[in-house]
Amino acid sequence: MKIDIRHASVADAAGIARVHIDTWRSAYKGIVPDEYLASLSYEKRLISWGNFLGAMPSRQHVLVAVDDDGKVIAFANAGNNRSVEYGPDGEVVAIYLLQEYQGCGIGRRLFHASIHRLAADGFKQMLVWVLADNSACRFYERMGGQLIGEKMEEIGGKSLKELAYGWDDLPSRVT
| Tens digit of each residue's pLDDT (9 = 90 or more) over 35-57 | 999 999 999 999 999 999 999 98
Digit-coded pLDDT (tens) for 17-30: 999 999 999 999 99
119-170 per-position pLDDT tens digit: 999 999 999 999 999 999 999 999 999 999 999 999 999 999 999 999 988 8
Q: How many CB atoms lie within 10 A of CB 173?
A: 15
User: How high is the pLDDT of residue 54?
Assistant: 95
The pLDDT of residue 88 is 86
- CA-CA-CA-CA torsion sign (85, 86, 92, 98): negative
Distance CA 119, CA 107 (A): 18
**Which domain, by its residues, includes 92?**
4-173
**Residues 127 and 143: beta-carbon distance below 8 Å:** no
Contact, 153 vs 36, CB < 8 A? no
| CA distances to 16, 95, 107, 118 from 71, in Å | 10, 16, 16, 25
What does the pLDDT read at residue 172? 56
List the CATH number of the domain containing 100.
Answer: 3.40.630.30
Asked whether the predicted pLDDT for residue 77 surpasses 50, the reply is yes
Q: Angle at Cα 92 formed by Cα 86 and Cα 93, nearest 5°?
A: 90
The tally of domains found in the chain comes to: 1
Among 84-88, 89-93, 101-105, name the one with the lowest average pLDDT.
Answer: 84-88
69 has pLDDT over 80: yes
Kindly report the average pLDDT of the chain as a whole number.
93
Whether residue 175 is predicted with pLDDT greater than 80 in this model: the reply is: no
